[in-house]
């Protein structure tokens, strides 16, 4: 049976992507599915978020909904971090780190690690030094990671984000997370949101799309 490819458009600072991460891990573990990651840069560049009280409350309320629906844990240290004055959230550095980790076939491992560092431990994943620590923690070759991190910045990162956003537009989608499958030249959206609270049904759904595509 040939593999099908699922294209996952995400952002490491997207709470709903964190909520969907158990589903993404199940998809990645499926023997007949290949997963490709596309970072959308939700808070990168000019969209970097300088936290204010209004957005802080918006995030906290959204996180409560995500936790209730998915069971994902938002740690006390994370909530404390949200209250820090002058907090800036920038997607670009963690995306760059994930692209660097991909060179060692650990893109999803890095994504999971930066999500846990942010949403549970309240670590500053927009800071390269924090990302370097995480690279150590997931047992990357550090010299290679540092070289690849530099290489994946600048134009490479911009092109990656641009392509990810093109995929969103081509599929008629606009938000994160988005999971796509290409069939007969068309991009079809996989309804992740229908399974956020039911991993068993999600597994059955994945089996069904694999079966119908072969």
Number of H helices, E strands in the chain: 9, 6
Specify the 3-state DSSP secondary structure of 180.
strand
d(CA 208, CA 4): 12
Q: How confident is the model at residue 213 (pLDDT cuts 50, 70, 90)?
A: confident
Residue whose entry in the numeric block shows the structure tokens 């978020």: 49
d(CA 60, CA 79): 8
Between the CA of residue 118 and those of 38, 110, 121, 184, what are the distances in Å? 19, 12, 6, 38
Specify the 3-state DSSP secondary structure of 36.
strand
Question: pLDDT tens for residues 192-208?
Answer: 999 999 999 999 999 99
Q: In degrees rounded to 5, what are phi and psi of residue 168? A: -55, -50
Question: pLDDT tens for residues 45-88?
Answer: 999 999 999 999 999 999 999 999 999 999 999 999 999 999 99
**Lookup: tokens for 78:** 């994370």
pTM: 0.96
Beta bridge mates, 10: 39
For 4-213, the fitting CATH number among 3.30.465.10, 3.40.225.10, 3.40.30.10, 3.40.50.2000 is 3.40.30.10
């Amino acid at each position: 049976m040939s593999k099908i490819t699922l294209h996952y458009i995400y952002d490491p600072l997207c709470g709903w992507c964190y909520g969907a991460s158990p589903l993404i891990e199940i998809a990645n573990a499926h023997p007949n599915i290949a997963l490709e990651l596309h970072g959308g840069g939700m808070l990168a560049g000019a969209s970097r978020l300088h936290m204010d009280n209004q957005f802080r409350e918006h995030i906290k309320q959204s996180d409560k909904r995500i936790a209730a629906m998915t069971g994902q844990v938002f740690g006390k240290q994370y909530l404390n971090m949200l209250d820090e004055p002058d907090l800036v959230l920038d997607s670009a550095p963690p995306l760059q780190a994930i692209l660097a980790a991909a060179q060692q076939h650990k893109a999803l491992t890095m994504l999971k690690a930066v999500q846990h560092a942010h949403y549970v431990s309240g670590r500053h994943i927009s800071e390269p030094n924090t990302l370097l620590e995480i690279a150590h923690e997931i047992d990357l070759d550090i010299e290679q990671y540092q070289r690849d991190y530099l290489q994946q910045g600048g134009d490479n990162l911009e092109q990656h984000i641009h392509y990810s956003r093109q995929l969103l537009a081509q599929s008629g989608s606009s938000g994160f997370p988005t999971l796509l499958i290409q069939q007969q030249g068309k991009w079809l959206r996989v309804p992740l949101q229908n399974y956020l609270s039911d991993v068993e049904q999600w597994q059955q759904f994945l089996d069904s799309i694999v079966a119908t595509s072969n």
